């Protein structure tokens, strides 16, 4: 069984299409949230996602913000503008789909969550933050998104601190029996680890590997659409540098 791992699509159809082409042979898909927000094609990305085989998807903060399930007073002005514009693009049926997304999901012994545990919308950006998530995890593996940074953390059983490993240029994780893992496949639609290529993963359950890959996409087309939609320039500019 193989799963495509996707997160933080953020309404970027060009990036999403490039990733789906690279994932055309997986058996099923796991989505770690933030389908929409920032990009110019929220409705199309959501429909495309929902058509994927065996999809299991958890809610991200932007998914919930667009349907009034998340307080946006802490969002920066760019994110807030995107939330308001995005909410207007969704049909009632899409709004209700997003409103009903779960905060966590379980598959093959792993847990899916957008941000962290026990706070589903918290961030894992350091070994200290990873430690809190490891302590709250029911099993040995968590797949997370939210930071838009492809990386993983591993920790031996016991009291050792976690190790943080970057996957900004891709790479494979061999899942060992004696370690626990928090794995972030990076962002499809708005990478922030300095690599502008769309990021995603492939989890091969039997082979016990997670491979993170990067695929280039038509950044200029996605940027032009963000401009035509009247969304803040910053949201388009950052796609060039992946920050
Ligand atoms: Zn996000």
Residue 115: predicted pLDDT: 98
Ligand 1 centre and the CA of 33: distance in Å? Answer: 7
Residue tagged 């695929």 (tokens): 215
Q: Is the pLDDT of residue 129 over 90?
A: yes
Residue 161: predicted pLDDT: 87
CATH code where residue 96 lies: 3.60.21.10
Number of structural domains found in the chain: 1
pLDDT band at 56 (very low <50, low <70, confident <90, very high): very high
Average pLDDT over residues 74-82: 89
Structure letter (DSSP) for residue 11: T
Nearest CA among 70, 29, 66, 34 for reference residue 50: 29
Helix 13-22 and helix 219-228, axial crossing angle in degrees, nearest 10: 150
Q: Is the pLDDT of residue 73 over 90?
A: no
Tell me the percentage of the chain whose pLDDT exceeds 70.
100
Residue 196: predicted pLDDT: 97
Q: How far is residue 12 from each of residues 82, 145, 195, measured CA to CA in Å?
A: 13, 16, 16
Tell me the percentage of the chain whose pLDDT exceeds 90.
94
Helix 42-50 and helix 77-89, axial crossing angle in degrees, nearest 10: 60
Q: Is the pLDDT of residue 184 over 80?
A: yes
On average, the pLDDT of the chain sits at 96
- Judging by beta carbons within 10 Å of its beta carbon (0-12, 13-18, 19+), is residue 20 exposed, middle or buried? buried
Residue tagged 């350091």 (tokens): 126
Residue 160: predicted pLDDT: 82
Each residue of 96-120: pLDDT tens digit?
A: 999 999 999 999 999 999 999 999 9
Ligand 1 centre and the CA of 70: distance in Å? Answer: 14
Ligand 1 centre and the CA of 158: distance in Å? Answer: 32
pLDDT band at 20 (very low <50, low <70, confident <90, very high): very high
Of the CA atoms within 13 Å of residue 16, those in its CB half-sphere come to 26
Ligand 1 centre and the CA of 8: distance in Å? Answer: 5
What b/e sequence results for 134-171 when a residue is b if at least 16 CB atoms lie within 10 Å of its CB, and e otherwise? beebeebbbbbbbbbbbbbbbbeeeeeebebeebbebb
Ligand 1 centre and the CA of 79: distance in Å? Answer: 10
pLDDT band at 124 (very low <50, low <70, confident <90, very high): very high
Task: With beta carbons less than 8 A apart as the criterion, state whether 130 and 151 touch.
Answer: no
Q: Is the pLDDT of residue 194 over 80?
A: yes
pLDDT band at 157 (very low <50, low <70, confident <90, very high): confident
Q: Which of 77-81, 143-147, 151-155 has the lowest mean pLDDT?
A: 77-81
Ligand 1 centre and the CA of 146: distance in Å? Answer: 5
Q: What range defines the domain where residue 167 resides?
A: 2-241
Residue 74: predicted pLDDT: 84
Ligand 1 centre and the CA of 105: distance in Å? Answer: 18
pLDDT band at 159 (very low <50, low <70, confident <90, very high): confident
pLDDT band at 172 (very low <50, low <70, confident <90, very high): very high
Average pLDDT over residues 181-193: 98
pLDDT band at 127 (very low <50, low <70, confident <90, very high): very high
């Amino acid at each position: 069984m193989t799963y495509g791992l996707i997160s933080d699509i953020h309404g970027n159809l060009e990036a999403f299409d490039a990733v789906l082409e690279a994932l055309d042979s997986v058996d099923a898909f796991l989505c770690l949230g933030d389908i929409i927000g920032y990009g110019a094609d929220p409705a199309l990305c959501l429909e495309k996602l929902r058509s994927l085989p065996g999809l299991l998807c958890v809610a991200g903060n932007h998914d919930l913000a667009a349907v009034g399930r998340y307080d946006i007073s802490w969002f920066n002005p760019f994110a807030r503008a995107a939330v308001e514009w995005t909410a207007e693009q969704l049909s009632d049926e899409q709004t209700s789909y997003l409103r009903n997304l779960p905060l966590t999901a379980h598959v093959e012994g792993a847990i899916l969550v957008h941000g962290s545990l026990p706070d589903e919308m918290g961030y894992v950006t350091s070994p200290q933050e990873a430690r809190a998530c490891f302590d709250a995890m029911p099993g040995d593996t968590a797949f997370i998104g939210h930071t838009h940074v492809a990386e993983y953390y591993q920790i031996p059983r016991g009291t050792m601190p976690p190790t943080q490993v970057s996957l900004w240029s891709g790479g494979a994780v061999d899942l060992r029996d004696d370690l626990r893992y928090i794995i972030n496949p990076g962002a499809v639609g708005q990478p922030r680890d300095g690599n502008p290529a769309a990021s995603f993963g492939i989890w091969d359950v039997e082979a016990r590997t997670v491979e993170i890959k990067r695929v280039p996409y038509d950044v200029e087309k996605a940027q032009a659409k963000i401009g035509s939609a009247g969304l803040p320039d910053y949201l388009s500019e950052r796609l060039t540098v992946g920050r």
